[in-house]
Copies of this chain bind each other. A is one copy, B any other.
Amino acid sequence: QPSGNQAPDVGAGQKRAAVCFACHNADGISKIPGTPHLAGQERSYLENALRAYRDGQTRQNPTMNPMAKPLSDRDIVNIAAYYSSLARSGQGQK
Protein backbone atom coordinates (compact mmCIF):
# COMPACT_ATOMS: atom_id res chain seq x y z
CA GLN A 1 0.00 0.00 0.00
CA PRO A 2 1.15 3.62 -0.59
CA SER A 3 3.58 4.38 2.19
CA GLY A 4 3.41 7.30 4.70
CA ASN A 5 0.64 9.88 5.02
CA GLN A 6 2.11 12.82 3.04
CA ALA A 7 0.42 13.18 -0.35
CA PRO A 8 2.69 12.15 -3.26
CA ASP A 9 4.36 15.05 -5.10
CA VAL A 10 4.09 14.34 -8.84
CA GLY A 11 6.33 17.34 -9.72
CA ALA A 12 9.09 16.13 -7.41
CA GLY A 13 8.57 12.65 -8.83
CA GLN A 14 9.07 13.94 -12.38
CA LYS A 15 12.36 15.58 -11.35
CA ARG A 16 13.59 12.52 -9.43
CA ALA A 17 12.53 10.23 -12.32
CA ALA A 18 14.87 12.00 -14.77
CA VAL A 19 17.30 9.09 -14.42
CA CYS A 20 14.52 6.73 -15.51
CA PHE A 21 13.80 8.57 -18.76
CA ALA A 22 16.74 6.98 -20.58
CA CYS A 23 14.83 3.66 -20.73
CA HIS A 24 11.24 4.41 -19.69
CA ASN A 25 11.00 7.85 -21.33
CA ALA A 26 9.39 10.91 -19.77
CA ASP A 27 6.03 9.84 -21.22
CA GLY A 28 6.37 6.33 -19.79
CA ILE A 29 6.28 4.53 -23.15
CA SER A 30 9.51 2.61 -23.47
CA LYS A 31 11.38 2.23 -26.79
CA ILE A 32 13.55 -0.65 -25.61
CA PRO A 33 12.39 -4.28 -25.95
CA GLY A 34 12.18 -5.86 -22.52
CA THR A 35 11.67 -2.51 -20.82
CA PRO A 36 8.12 -2.04 -19.54
CA HIS A 37 5.84 0.87 -20.30
CA LEU A 38 5.09 2.74 -17.06
CA ALA A 39 2.58 5.35 -18.31
CA GLY A 40 -0.62 5.14 -16.26
CA GLN A 41 0.57 1.99 -14.50
CA GLU A 42 -1.14 1.15 -11.19
CA ARG A 43 0.46 3.34 -8.50
CA SER A 44 0.95 0.96 -5.61
CA TYR A 45 2.24 -1.67 -8.03
CA LEU A 46 4.96 0.78 -9.09
CA GLU A 47 5.77 1.57 -5.45
CA ASN A 48 5.98 -2.11 -4.56
CA ALA A 49 8.17 -2.81 -7.60
CA LEU A 50 10.59 0.03 -6.75
CA ARG A 51 10.82 -1.10 -3.12
CA ALA A 52 11.43 -4.69 -4.23
CA TYR A 53 14.16 -3.56 -6.62
CA ARG A 54 15.68 -1.41 -3.87
CA ASP A 55 15.68 -4.30 -1.41
CA GLY A 56 17.02 -6.67 -4.10
CA GLN A 57 15.39 -9.75 -2.56
CA THR A 58 12.15 -10.53 -4.34
CA ARG A 59 13.05 -8.74 -7.55
CA GLN A 60 16.55 -9.14 -8.94
CA ASN A 61 17.48 -7.22 -12.07
CA PRO A 62 20.98 -6.03 -12.99
CA THR A 63 19.69 -2.65 -14.18
CA MET A 64 16.92 -1.90 -11.71
CA ASN A 65 18.53 -2.96 -8.41
CA PRO A 66 21.33 -0.35 -8.65
CA MET A 67 18.91 2.24 -10.04
CA ALA A 68 16.52 1.81 -7.10
CA LYS A 69 19.20 1.47 -4.41
CA PRO A 70 19.62 5.23 -3.74
CA LEU A 71 15.91 6.04 -3.72
CA SER A 72 14.31 7.24 -0.49
CA ASP A 73 10.78 6.21 0.51
CA ARG A 74 9.59 9.67 -0.58
CA ASP A 75 11.36 9.32 -3.94
CA ILE A 76 9.57 6.00 -4.48
CA VAL A 77 6.15 7.42 -3.61
CA ASN A 78 6.72 10.47 -5.86
CA ILE A 79 8.18 8.57 -8.84
CA ALA A 80 5.34 6.03 -8.70
CA ALA A 81 2.82 8.90 -8.54
CA TYR A 82 4.48 10.61 -11.49
CA TYR A 83 4.44 7.63 -13.85
CA SER A 84 0.98 6.48 -12.80
CA SER A 85 -0.33 10.03 -13.43
CA LEU A 86 0.66 9.84 -17.11
CA ALA A 87 -1.89 9.06 -19.80
CA ARG A 88 -1.66 5.38 -20.69
CA SER A 89 -1.44 6.42 -24.35
CA GLY A 90 1.83 8.19 -23.70
CA GLN A 91 0.66 11.78 -24.27
CA GLY A 92 1.85 13.09 -20.90
CA GLN A 93 -0.36 14.11 -17.95
CA LYS A 94 -3.83 12.59 -17.83
Report the bound CA distance from A88 to B92 in whole Å: 14
Minimal beta-carbon separation of A79 from chain B (angstroms): 15
Chain A interface residues (CB < 8 Å from chain B): 1, 30, 33-37, 39-45, 48, 57-61, 88-90
**Complex contact A37–B1 (CB within 8 A):** no
Q: Which of A1, A42, A44, A58 has the most CB of B within 10 A?
A: A42
- In the A-B complex, the 3 residue pairs with the closest CB atoms: A58-B60, A88-B88, A36-B45
| Closest B residue to A49 using CB positions | B36
Minimal beta-carbon separation of A82 from chain B (angstroms): 16
| Closest B residue to A1 using CB positions | B33
**Complex contact A34–B45 (CB within 8 A):** yes
